[in-house]
Structure formats: C-alpha cells, structure tokens
Structure 1
Amino acid sequence: MLCAGKFCGIGAGTAALQWLHASRGGLLAGIRARGVSTSWSPVGAAFNVQPQGYSLDLFGERRGLFGVPELSTPEGFHVAQEKALRKTESLLELASRTAPGPQTVLIFDELSDSLCRVADLADFVKIAHPDPAFRGAAEEACRSIGTVVEKLNTNVELYQSLQKLLADKNLVDSLDPETRRVAELFMFDFEISGIHLDKEKRKQAVDLNVKILDLSSTFLMGTNIPNKIGGHLLPEHICRHFPVDGNCVIVDGLQAEAPDDMVREAAYKIFLYPNAGQLNCLEELLRHRDLLAKLVGYPTFSHRALQGTIAKTPETVMRFLEKLSDKLSERTVKDFEMMRRMKTKLNPQNAELMPWDPPYYSGVLRAERYNIEPSLYCPFFSLGACMEGLNLLFNQLLGISLYAEQPAKGEVWCEDVRKLAVVHETEGLLGYIYCDFFQRADKPHQDCHFTIRGGRLKEDGVYQLPVVVLMLSLPKSSRSSPTLLTPGMMENLFHEMGHAMHSMLGRTRYQHVTGTRCPTDFAEVPSILMEYFANDYRVVNQFARHYQTGQPLPKNMVSRLCESKKVCAAADMQLQVFYAILDQIYHGKHPLRKSTTDILQETQEKFYGLPYVPNTAWQLRFSHLVGYGAKYYSYLMSRAVASMVWRECFLQDPFSRAMGERYRRELLAHGGGKEPMLMVQGMLQKSPSIDDFVSALVDDLDPDFETFFMDSE
C-alpha cells in the first residue's frame, strides 16, 4: 500500500522539534554545530522521578500532539486529514506530468508520507489517548485515510506513471538499488490490490479492502470484551476471584497464574465460550481475505501475504513449522509429563493436564527449582537503572546516547509520558522516542511500538527525523520507591527498545521502507535480539543495582533466571507452532464447510498435545489474526535469526563495537529497502537454510546455552 502499514503502526508525524539552549559541554558541545538541543537531561534519572510538568514555547502557546499544531483538539484530525488529502491531489497531478525516472519514486514516497503523517499518528491515538473524543476522531481519520489509500492502490493513472518507469529497461538499470526496490514495492502494492483487473473488479477489490478494515476493527474490539455468567452457576469460592456485576460474574481473562485449578478452569471455559457475533465476524474476515486474494490472482491469502518475506511462500512456512514440530516432539512430551507429575503432586484428585494448566505448573516448576520469585529481582531493576543500562549498551555498541527532553504543553497525551532524544556521537540527533510506559485506565495492556513518523531524505537535503512511541504497562513509582520491574518487564522493555533502534537507525532515503517498515518475519529480529542482551550477565551487571543499597545483582541470580527459562520451554514453543499453523490453515485452502472452531480442534489435536475443550473458541481471542494474518510464524522465524546473530556475533563479546557497527550496517540501516535474506546473509556471512533456523530454535532450549559465558569465565 502507499501508506506502508507493515509493522506496529504505519508511520508519519510532523517535523521533530529542536530546542536551542546554552551548551553544557561534553558530547553535546561536540555536536552543537549540528543544531542539536542542549536542554537534555540524563536518561536514567528522568525515569526514577515524577515528571516536572510541561515546558512552553517562546510564546507560551499550547502545542498539538507530537508538536502537530492542528492536533491541540480532537477536531484537528479532520483539519490534518483535509490538508493531507489536498496535498495528495497536488502530488497525483505532479505524478501524471512527470517524465519517468527517479523523481517518480520520490513523488510516490512523498505521497505515501503525506498520508502516513495522519494515518500513523491516528493509529496510535485511537487506542492510547485517554480522551474518548480524541480516540473517536482518530478512529474516523484512520478509516478515512485507509479508504483513500485503497482507492489510490487501484488508481490507473498513478499506476501507469510507475509502469512507464519500470517498463523501460534503460531507466530501471540507471536506478540505484534502493530506488529500484522501492519502485518495485510500490508496484507490488498496486498488483496485490488488483490494478490489473477491469474497472468493475477494481472497484470490487477496493470494497473488499474497506470491508476487511471494518471487520478487522470489529474483531479486534471483540477479542477483549469480557464474558459474563450468572453467579449462581459457580461455587462461591470461585466467584470471589472475579469482578461482579449485579448477579453476574465478569470474566475478562484466563487467570493463567491462579493457583486454584478450578479458578483457571472456570476462567478458561467462560472467557473462551463462543460468541456468535465474534465467530461470524472472524469467519467473514477470513472469507473476505480469501475472496480478495483470489480476485487479484493468488491461490490463497497466505500466498498474497507472504510475498517479499524471508519465507516467501506458505509452503516454506509450513515446512519450517512442521520440521520444528517434529524436532520438538520428544521434548514437549517430557515437558507435559513434568507438569502432569507436578499437578498430581499438588492435586491428586484431578491429575489430567488440561490447556489451562501449563502456564501455572511450568511456573511452579521454575520457582521450585530455581527460586526466581520476582520480588527478589525487582529491587535491582528500577526503571531508571534499566533505561541507563540500555543507554550504556547502545553507547558501547552503536555510539548512541539517550537523553530526556521536556515535552511542550499539549505535545503528549498524558503527563507520565517521557520524551527521549536519540543522539549519535558523530551524526547528531537521529530521532525521538516517546515513552508511554505506565498503567492507566482504558490503556491497552499490550506492549508495543508505533511508528509515528518515518525517516526520509527530503528534497531539500534535510533528513526527516523518525518519531516513535513505545507503549508498556508498568506500575507507577510510589513515595518510597521508583518504578521497579520484574525480570519479564525488563526483558519486554529491551524488546521494544530494539524496535525503536530499528526505527532510529533504518535511515533510508524513502520513508516507505524506513525502520520497521519491512517484512514481518524480519521486523522482529532486532527486538528479539535485544532479549538475548537482557539475559546476559555481562550486560545486566552494567546496570542492575539495588535501588536502596546500590548492591549489584548477584551473578547466580541471573544464572538461575536464565536456566529457569529452559523449564518447559519446548512446550511453550510447541504452543507457538500450533498457533502459527492454525494461522496458516485459516488463511490457506481450508474447507469452507468447516467452522474455524472445527479447524482449531483438529489442529490442536495434531500439533499441540493437550485436548481441545468442548464449547470453547480460543481463536476468537486471537487478536494477532488481524495484524499478523498469515504471518504469525514470524515470531518463531525472527527468533531463529536473532539466535543465530547472537551466537555468531555477540555471544563472545556483547559489547563488541565492530559487531555493533556490522549490525547497524547490515541489518538495521536498510529498513525494508533490501531483501531481508540478503541482510541476514550479510550479518551472518553465510546463507542459512530452513534446517539452520530449526536447529537454532531447538539448540536454544538446551539448559547450558544462556549460561555458557558464565561457566567459561
């Protein structure tokens, strides 16, 4: 699509604000000539104190969200949208009268950028802003811009202007590799939208895309809606674990960590009880995706979705998943047997292992063997210390520092949001990260990264700085302590910051391929790689200090934590394989006479190992079917690549500047402007096979892998 919504939000925004103040010396003094702000403060301290209100511009005026003047009120979304549409019209006219050449690609990219400036920002605001009026206005802007994009992707005149360029071999040969790839990606967007069809079928393709957007939005909302059941239908001791609404019990999640087997069973059966409307929505969504794929010439939606990825085809994905399942089978059986024995030990009357059991009993096994109670670790992981740890790591690997900058009034949507400037030691300011880290009412609990504005080289030679948001759900600080993270929260922070660095360092000429605008099975590689750093004692030892005593986190505590993650890890991975295969079947040639629940039951029995529970429909809570439709396998494939990169490049020395520079040069710098497998080959200096990917994942399950470096010291 012209608006390159490929990963974690689609990307736009406004020019990032630069502040000019007196120099403070050091690094900042060295880069003053680049017009970089000197009003920043150290990143660690900024996250261990309460925010100090807002700063004002020279005239004391209120700024809009992310500094966009129009967005000081919800109505501003309509103004911004109309402005983008007017610019779209002028760029369409310019494209029609421009001779084929590199300028054609620049016009297309500017067209994409002008729409994404509104769409990306709105995509974030519609789910994260605390004001319902802002959320509603953003939702409408998303829908409006999305409709325009689908129409542009079937605009024959626009298509012909690009076709003239790509049909001329001499012109194509004269393009540099990145420009040629971007031109081909734009052409691909046209083709998967049905540009080659006749007028009536093109309209049908647009209508299908708009319907898919509506169904996706409805399905997503339905994945989080609680289920209710009459309180008289549950034993009183079970009811006490759930909120109550009159005579009804409200079940809004799976209660996976609850120690009472009956509480987990009740939550599982009630929360996953089929909702007819949600079931119909999902099956309509899958049907419309299938219709669209066939209309534009693909045998299945999966074939359409996997163009340009590392895997390339559904056949490759299934071969990868089935080989991985085979390799995991013996380990998975052993994991389930361990959990079954633990359940028998704790609850002899009901020893059968059920789908609601693994998260709890694997946790019991980890705690019993390794004593990894999170409260023992939290005092060492204050948010400020973790942010300083990231700062130190990025500085050593990439020459990058993070600085806190005071946002202007109206620039952020909540006073808890922190704004970070990302600064390179020689290149100066690279972009901004807004950190929306703390829990609040109506805020989604899912940790994620949003591109607000993609980077690009503008015609005046100035680089448009990228702007992103990282959203977490951390507890707020108290009067007696800063925000303290569990090991899992710390790892998630590192994961999301990996996405942010991809956005900051994917400094491509075109915003259509900047940063995380790349194939999904490659986009997760930088974030998963950061998890390996987060679990390496040499890295953790740089920042993990008790917030009261300053005592460093003992090495054996990190060792126990790493070893504990191997407990039942094969069963966890097998569950992901099951989810990924289910996703492929839903988007493949599944028999239309079967319901999605029948397909779920068959797939679970074949690829998981625990029985399907009658009258449940887990797929109706599977929100990834929207954003990761036919691409849920990406997490596993990205983890395989990240594992190989870690072993080959960073296991020996996680602070290697030479490897850090190779990492930036080969993997981060290109965004989606280069074939993903070529980037992987450049980093690993070899061409990995499907068997290599499978082996990397299975080898990661070995208990001694994470602690190899400890034993060898």
Structure 2
Amino acid sequence: MIGFRKVRLVLRAVSSRVHSCPRYSSSWSPLGAAFNAKPARKLNFSFTNGNAGLFEISELADFYGFYALKERAISESSKLVAEATEPGRQRKMVEIFDELSDTLCRVADLAEFIRVAHPNLNFATAAEDASVNIAGLVEKLNTNRALYKSLRHVTEQGDMFPEDDVDRHVAKLFLFDFEQSGIHLEESKRKRVVELNEEILKVGSQFMEATQQPISIKKEALPEHLRYSFNLEGDNVIVTGMYSESHNEAVREAAYKIYLHHQPFQEERLLNLLTARHELAALCGFSSYAHRATSGTLADNPETVMQFLEGLVEEVRPAAVHDLDILEQYKAKHKSQASVLQPWDVPYYTAVAKHGRHKVDHSEFAKYFPLGACMEGLNELFRSLYNVTLEHEPVEGGEVWCDEVYKLAVLHEEEGVLGYIYCDFFERIGKPQQDCHFTIRGGRQTRDGTYQLPVVVLMLNLPEPSWSTPSLLSPGMVENLFHEMGHAMHSMLGRTKYQHVTGTRCSTDFAEVPSVLMEYFATDPRVLSSFAKHYKTCEPIPEDMVTSLCASKYMFNACETQLQVFYSVLDQRLHGIHPLETSLVDLVADTQNEFYSMKHVSQTVWPLRFAHLVGYGAKYYSYLMSRAVASRIWHECFADDPFSRANGELYRRTLLAHGGGKLPMTLIEDLLKKRPTTQDFVQSLVEDVNSR
C-alpha cells in the first residue's frame, strides 16, 4: 500500500476566555482550572462569522470543504505519481512517497475521525464520502505497476541520491505495504488478493457486529426465579452480556453459559475469515497469516511469539493458581451455593477481594482525582521528564466538532510548540464508547525545511462536570487518561523525517509501549501523591489511600496475565494452523485447559465473542509484549526516580523521537544499552507479578 493508514484502534491564559466560577476550591493552576470546568469559547469581536474551520482548516468551515480537500488530494497525488515515475526526478524516491502518503493521510485520517465523531450528519456524511474516495484512490495506486517498479528499483539497487539508514528502512516499509495488495504477483493472483481483501473486510465487519449481539432464548429454558434478572421480550429472555457484577451466582452462571454458547452461524463467519486470511498470506509468500502479521514487528515471527507466551505461562502458573485459591476462599466466605470457583466467578470475586483487602472505594478515590488535578499531574510529569508543558488554548469558532473539546499546545522550553492535542473527554449520546487516540496529522520534515507539527485527538468517556463539581475520575479512568496521553506524547515528542513512521505508526507490539509505560507512572505512589488532591479542599490524598490503591493494582496480576496468555495463544493457533486440526470447540477447550487454570466449560466458545480477532488478528499478544517492554523500561529508567530528567531525555532521544523510523528492537537496544532476549521480557512480567 502507498501508506494510507486508517485513523488509530492515539495553557495559555487568554483574557478573552470567559467562564463561570465553579463552587469549589480555586487553588488550581490555569491548566487545572480549565479542565475542572466545561470549555468556554473565545469571544468573537470581529464582524466576520468567526468560523476558522475544523482543526483550523479553512475549507472545513462548512462540510462542503471535504469535497475540496478530496479533490485537492487527488490532484496533488497525480503530480507526485508523475514525479516518482519520471526519470528526471530531483529528490529521493522515499521523500516523494512520503509526501504522497501524507497527502492521502491528511484527508483520510481527518475524514475517518470526523465520520465517527462529528454529531452533525452533514459533516459525518461528507467525511465518509471523502474517506471512501481516498480509499478508492489508494486501491488504484496499489495497481500502478510503474509506481511500484520505481520504488522496487530503489529498494533493490539504491537511489540516485544519497540515502541514510532511515531512508532505506522507510522505503522498504513502503514496498512491504505495496506488496500486501499483491501488485508483485501475476494478474490472476493479484485480482484474487483484491477479492480476498474485500472478503476479509466484509466478513470481519459481520463477525464484529455479531460479537455484541444479545442472545434470545425461550423463557422455559431458564428457571422462573432467574428469568426476571434479564430483559424479557414476550416469551423470550434476552441476555445482553456476562452479568459479571451480579451478586447472584446462578445469574452469572446462566449468563456465562448462554452468552458464550456455541453459535454455528458465528463460527462459520470466523472460519471464513481465517480461510480468507490464510489464502491471502499464502499468495503473498507467507506460510501462515500469523507469519504475515508478525513480519517486521518486535517479535518478528510467530515462533518468537509462542516462545514468549509459553515461557510466560510456565513462570506465572504457580502464582496464578495461588490467586485463584484466594478467590475460591472469598467465595467460600460468602456462603455461595457451590464452593468451587468457576469461570463466571473470577471477575466478581476479584472485585470483592480488592475492595475487601484494600478498601478500594472508587467513589471516595474519585474525590481526589478531579480532571484538573490529573492534568496538572501530567503537566508536572512532562515538565520534569522532557522540559515540556501542556498549555490550554481557546479554540476558534468552528475549530472543534463539539463545544466540550479542549485544545492543548505541547510546548518545549527550547524547541517551541511541538504539536497540538484536542481533548474530547466527556460522555455524550452518539459518541464512540471506547477510549482512543486518533492521529489527524503526522509530523514530518517538509520540503522547505520546516517541520509539519503533529495534531492528535484523545477521546475519553469521563463524567461531565457540573456547575458545582468538576469531572471526578475513578482510578481506572486516571489510568486510561495516562495511557492515552502516552500515545499522544509519542506523537508530540517524535521528530521523524517521514510521517509514514510518525509516533504510533509503528508495529502494534511496539506502538503500545509508551502508553503502557504511562500506566506505571499512573500507579506509582510518588506520582499519585504529587497531584491527587480533594476537589473541594485541595487536601492531598491520604497516604494510606495511595498505598491501598497502588497495592490493589497488582492483586491477581498472575491470574490476569495467565488469562491474557490464553487469549494470545488461541489467537496464534487460529491464524497459524489451516485448516484447523480439530473442531473450533475442541481447539478452544484444549487451549484453555493447557494455558489457563480455569477449566473450559462445555459448549462455550469464547472466541465467537472476541472482536479483537478482527482488528488484532495474530497480534493480540502485543498487549503482553508491550507490557513486558514497558516494564523493562520502567525498572531500568524510572523506578528509582519517576521524575528523572536525565532518563526522560534519554527515553525521548533514543526511543520516542524515532516513531517507527527504526526497527523496534533497535530502539529498545539503544535505550537499554543491550539487546533484551525473550526471556528478559518474560522475567519483566514475572517481576511485576511478584511485586504484589
């Protein structure tokens, strides 16, 4: 592919800014005060309509502007293709390709975000049209053999202009993306690749949609005393989920067995998806889809993935069994109907045990985590680590898609503005429910020598502030905020030559490292104590509350790690063996019984509810590997001092600054001054498990 990448599943006090004064402590910095109230708009004293356009793109003062952006991208792309394929070019091939990629991404990424985020149907529709048209253009470019041959010649023979290692690495990434469309194959096989990609998109969409569908069964299938715990429609009982928080064990059991029950039509979709993926991988020269998915990643191949997962599960098994024994004891204390712990009990008694042992009451903790305090904490952390501050800027009219969006400038004391973060933090009807980070514009060196500043959006679902109370965050929300800000700062602190590898545009198992690392900061007592304070009195959070909260973070870590290993191994097996050597039900049962200490429940097929099989096919292990890398970085660089400027600068210079511009393992080796082994990563997670 040319480099069109879908959007990623990433305070200046101004006197004209006007807002009402809330009835809680005013002892906040300008940043904290801004985030403790709903955003207010800059007053417009001009005689113009004051519409700067979305993201200050003047064409987007109106939704018709998407048509102008689309046409301009098509025109500019045509010129760049001509430049790349004509013999008299005056610059490196990789520079032309990256400008072509940037031209497409600046419209496609923006349009894809507005399509899902803008509440105005006209804007959403126009954005969708632009997104579809750019995707169509990309497909057309992916069949341009002259363009492909020009790039392949450079990667094989070298460019006529001097290249460095980054140039060669990025050119190879472009070539790899290009060949995923099958352009290097004979025509019949290339057409089949196109058909398979379309099939994968269609079946994957159908599968994902079905993962969220409720299950309807006849009333008679349930005992009468259980029916009314679920939704009722006529003669049917509707089960919408796992009901993991229910105090009634029989309800949890019924929900588990019904919701995860084998569904032949959904199994057929999954098997069709796996078959199409395997054929696609084979056509492109890979022995399995897992080999295709892991190529160029931190793991690099499925054999390394399995070595990591198998080593990890053996190390954590004793501790996982111990965790489950503790949960079983809690179940016995509650005089349950059955004393033996079951899979549907684990989430429920995990919550019970955490509350019982550490008295973790999220409503009490939330009083010490007003959004403004959390933003102040992030600001001080970034100032300490990177000499960077977050400055709130008032937005112009029409600049944002919703009135409740904040804008932050990321300012380095010596380098100036590094980029912009738009914060869409509060719940609203119709808003996507998943916390996520979107790249709107990637950073890159431009032809005139200036730097194209990155622009990203962080989307969370926090409770709205009221006139008297700021948005109060649960500990989990605080962790999510830090996680997503890790993605944003990966983009902000990067200074890549090419936007194709800016920030989070790197392999999945490496892209999550900076965000997961931020979770370690979010659960460190020294960091929490530096900013957590009561929203009314500004009293710092009591030490015993911090101790309890941080201790609860690692409770049952072994059991959770083992569960994630099971998910990851099953993902690898589904994408590595074709056709499956056994039935799907038996494969799930065998894998669960081998890698997880809770035995499989007959006729339940958990993967049929696992939407990640679509978006993270053969890459679900990335969560564990990213956490292993982040753990290694934390213990070697920040565990002794989470505010270390020296290590913060080292981390930025050797890792964050490069995005995907170098191989992931090379970046980690540069930071840690040694090349970690798979066993090193296993031991990093084992250290976390043993730190309970």
Give the alignment's TM-score, normalised by structure 1.
Answer: 0.89
Query: What secondary structure sits across from 1:669 in the alignment?
Result: helix
- Indicate conservation of the 8 Å contact 2:523/2:553, yes or no: no
Among 137, 146, 149, the residue aligned to 2:135 = 146
User: Within the alignment, does 1:703 sit opposite 2:671 as a pair?
Assistant: no
- Indicate conservation of the 8 Å contact 1:101/1:171, yes or no: no
Residue in structure 2 matched with residue 638 of structure 1 by the alignment: 626
**1:68–1:249 CA distance, 2 compared to 1 (3 A):** farther
- What is the alpha-carbon distance in structure 2 between the residues aligned to residue 78 and residue 354 of structure 1? 56
- What is the alpha-carbon distance in structure 2 between the residues aligned to residue 412 and residue 343 of structure 1? 50
- What is the alpha-carbon distance in structure 2 between the residues aligned to residue 297 and residue 678 of structure 1? 26
- Indicate conservation of the 8 Å contact 1:9/1:452, yes or no: no
Q: How does 1:442-457 map to 2 (within 5 A)?
A: 442-457=430-445
User: Within the alignment, does 1:8 sit opposite 2:24 as a pair?
Assistant: no
* Identity in percent: 53
- Indicate conservation of the 8 Å contact 1:151/1:206, yes or no: no
- Indicate conservation of the 8 Å contact 2:9/2:436, yes or no: no
CA-atom RMSD, angstroms?
2.7
Residue in structure 2 matched with residue 175 of structure 1 by the alignment: 163
Among 291, 305, 311, the residue aligned to 2:299 = 311
Bigger mean CA deviation after superposition, 614-623 or 642-651 = 614-623
User: Within the alignment, does 1:403 sit opposite 2:385 as a pair?
Assistant: no
Residue in structure 2 matched with residue 118 of structure 1 by the alignment: 107
Residue type matched to 1:613 in 2?
V
Residue type matched to 2:112 in 1?
D
Residue in structure 1 matched with residue 20 of structure 2 by the alignment: none
Query: What secondary structure sits across from 1:430 in the alignment?
Result: strand
- What is the alpha-carbon distance in structure 2 between the residues aligned to residue 436 and residue 112 of structure 1? 27
Gaps of 5+ in 2: 18-28
Bigger mean CA deviation after superposition, 162-171 or 670-679 = 162-171
- What is the alpha-carbon distance in structure 2 between the residues aligned to residue 103 and residue 543 of structure 1? 48
Residue in structure 2 matched with residue 439 of structure 1 by the alignment: 427
User: Within the alignment, does 1:218 sit opposite 2:222 as a pair?
Assistant: no
Shift of 1:683: 1.1
**1:76–1:57 CA distance, 2 compared to 1 (3 A):** farther
Shift of 1:537: 1.6
1:351-378: CA deviation from partner (whole Å, max 9, x where unpaired): 2322222111112111111111112211
- Indicate conservation of the 8 Å contact 2:260/2:606, yes or no: yes
Shift of 1:165: 1.8
Among 486, 503, 510, the residue aligned to 1:522 = 510
User: Within the alignment, does 1:573 sit opposite 2:561 as a pair?
Assistant: yes
Residue type matched to 2:445 in 1?
L
Residue type matched to 1:477 in 2?
P
Shift of 1:129: 3.0
Shift of 1:276: 4.7
Residue in structure 1 matched with residue 536 of structure 2 by the alignment: 548
- Indicate conservation of the 8 Å contact 2:6/2:109, yes or no: no
Shift of 1:341: 2.1
1:564-583: CA deviation from partner (whole Å, max 9, x where unpaired): 22221111001100111111
- What is the alpha-carbon distance in structure 1 between the residues aligned to residue 328 and residue 341 of structure 2? 6
Shift of 1:186: 0.9
Among 70, 73, 76, the residue aligned to 1:84 = 73
Among 643, 646, 668, the residue aligned to 2:656 = 668
User: Within the alignment, does 1:464 sit opposite 2:452 as a pair?
Assistant: yes
Residue in structure 2 matched with residue 358 of structure 1 by the alignment: 346
Residue type matched to 1:608 in 2?
Y
- What is the alpha-carbon distance in structure 1 between the residues aligned to residue 650 and residue 390 of structure 2? 21
User: Within the alignment, does 1:559 sit opposite 2:544 as a pair?
Assistant: no
Residue in structure 2 matched with residue 31 of structure 1 by the alignment: none
Residue in structure 2 matched with residue 602 of structure 1 by the alignment: 590
- Indicate conservation of the 8 Å contact 2:50/2:398, yes or no: no
Residue in structure 1 matched with residue 487 of structure 2 by the alignment: 499
Residue in structure 2 matched with residue 272 of structure 1 by the alignment: 260
Shift of 1:119: 2.0
- What is the alpha-carbon distance in structure 2 between the residues aligned to residue 255 and residue 682 of structure 1? 46
1:17-60: CA deviation from partner (whole Å, max 9, x where unpaired): x9998999xxxxxxxxxxxxxxxx93221111122246559632
**1:418–1:159 CA distance, 2 compared to 1 (3 A):** same
User: Within the alignment, does 1:376 sit opposite 2:356 as a pair?
Assistant: no
- Indicate conservation of the 8 Å contact 2:574/2:580, yes or no: no
Shift of 1:654: 0.9
Shift of 1:698: 0.6
Bigger mean CA deviation after superposition, 301-310 or 661-670 = 301-310
User: Within the alignment, does 1:105 sit opposite 2:105 as a pair?
Assistant: no
Shift of 1:239: 5.0
- Indicate conservation of the 8 Å contact 1:56/1:62, yes or no: no
Query: What secondary structure sits across from 1:587 in the alignment?
Result: helix
Q: How does 1:649-664 map to 2 (within 5 A)?
A: 649-664=637-652
- What is the alpha-carbon distance in structure 1 between the residues aligned to residue 126 and residue 538 of structure 2? 47
Shift of 1:252: 3.3
- What is the alpha-carbon distance in structure 1 between the residues aligned to residue 433 and residue 86 of structure 2? 48
Among 308, 329, 350, the residue aligned to 1:341 = 329
User: Within the alignment, does 1:295 sit opposite 2:283 as a pair?
Assistant: yes
**1:534–1:598 CA distance, 2 compared to 1 (3 A):** same
Q: How many residues align?
A: 680
Residue type matched to 1:683 in 2?
L
Among 84, 95, 101, the residue aligned to 1:95 = 84
- Indicate conservation of the 8 Å contact 1:150/1:210, yes or no: no
Shift of 1:122: 2.8
Bigger mean CA deviation after superposition, 237-246 or 632-641 = 237-246
Shift of 1:100: 6.7
Residue in structure 1 matched with residue 26 of structure 2 by the alignment: none
Residue in structure 1 matched with residue 175 of structure 2 by the alignment: 187
- What is the alpha-carbon distance in structure 1 between the residues aligned to residue 269 and residue 425 of structure 2? 32
**1:293–1:375 CA distance, 2 compared to 1 (3 A):** same
- What is the alpha-carbon distance in structure 2 between the residues aligned to residue 140 and residue 225 of structure 1? 28
- Indicate conservation of the 8 Å contact 2:80/2:96, yes or no: yes
**1:7–1:69 CA distance, 2 compared to 1 (3 A):** closer
**1:56–1:655 CA distance, 2 compared to 1 (3 A):** same
1:109-145: CA deviation from partner (whole Å, max 9, x where unpaired): 1111111122212332333333455445544544443
- What is the alpha-carbon distance in structure 1 between the residues aligned to residue 398 and residue 227 of structure 2? 43
**1:570–1:20 CA distance, 2 compared to 1 (3 A):** closer
Residue in structure 1 matched with residue 23 of structure 2 by the alignment: none
1:87-115: CA deviation from partner (whole Å, max 9, x where unpaired): 22222112111547852111101111111
Residue type matched to 1:82 in 2?
E
Query: What secondary structure sits across from 2:509 in the alignment?
Result: helix
**1:125–1:384 CA distance, 2 compared to 1 (3 A):** same
Residue in structure 1 matched with residue 30 of structure 2 by the alignment: 42
Residue in structure 1 matched with residue 194 of structure 2 by the alignment: 206
Bigger mean CA deviation after superposition, 416-425 or 114-123 = 114-123
Query: What secondary structure sits across from 1:655 in the alignment?
Result: coil
- What is the alpha-carbon distance in structure 2 between the residues aligned to residue 133 and residue 268 of structure 1? 41
Shift of 1:637: 0.8
User: Within the alignment, does 1:478 sit opposite 2:459 as a pair?
Assistant: no
Shift of 1:598: 3.7
- What is the alpha-carbon distance in structure 1 between the residues aligned to residue 343 and residue 452 of structure 2? 49
Query: What secondary structure sits across from 2:632 in the alignment?
Result: helix
Gaps of 5+ in 1: 11-17, 25-40, 705-713
- What is the alpha-carbon distance in structure 2 between the residues aligned to residue 334 and residue 453 of structure 1? 48
- Indicate conservation of the 8 Å contact 1:7/1:520, yes or no: no
**1:221–1:146 CA distance, 2 compared to 1 (3 A):** farther
- What is the alpha-carbon distance in structure 1 between the residues aligned to residue 9 and residue 556 of structure 2? 33
- Indicate conservation of the 8 Å contact 1:4/1:517, yes or no: no
Bigger mean CA deviation after superposition, 247-256 or 317-326 = 247-256
Bigger mean CA deviation after superposition, 177-186 or 244-253 = 244-253
Query: What secondary structure sits across from 2:505 in the alignment?
Result: coil
Residue type matched to 1:427 in 2?
E
1:144-181: CA deviation from partner (whole Å, max 9, x where unpaired): 43343244234211111112222334748x30221121
Residue in structure 1 matched with residue 246 of structure 2 by the alignment: 258
- What is the alpha-carbon distance in structure 2 between the residues aligned to residue 57 and residue 195 of structure 1? 56
Residue type matched to 2:154 in 1?
L
- What is the alpha-carbon distance in structure 2 between the residues aligned to residue 469 and residue 285 of structure 1? 31
Shift of 1:274: 4.5
